[in-house]
Amino acid sequence: MLFGWFFLVVKAAFHVRSSECRDCGAIRRYKTTGSKVALGFVGFVLFLIVLAVVSEINATGAL
């Protein structure tokens, strides 16, 4: 329950919407602005996790 919000953000980041043209019937798939913002947030969180792991490795001298 503590990290459930993160799964909702991940779902929103990769959700693709579609619309159908009424004239020709072509289907257009696109990401919404909210999806792009959520994808940026997911990328930022992953960047912070990688940064924390790298700094922990450097602090312990494992390399």
Tens digit of pLDDT for each residue in 5-55? 778 888 888 888 899 989 998 999 988 888 889 889 989 999 999 999 999
Predicted pLDDT of residue 63 = 58
Helices 4-14, 33-60: axis angle to 10 degrees equals: 130
Predicted pLDDT of residue 1 = 63
Is 33 or 63 the better-scoring residue by pLDDT? 33
Length of the chain: 63
Q: Strand 17-20 relative to strand 27-30: parallel, antiparallel, unpaired?
A: antiparallel
**pLDDT surpasses 70 at 62:** no
Predicted pLDDT of residue 49 = 93
Predicted pLDDT of residue 52 = 94
CA distance 9 to 12: 5
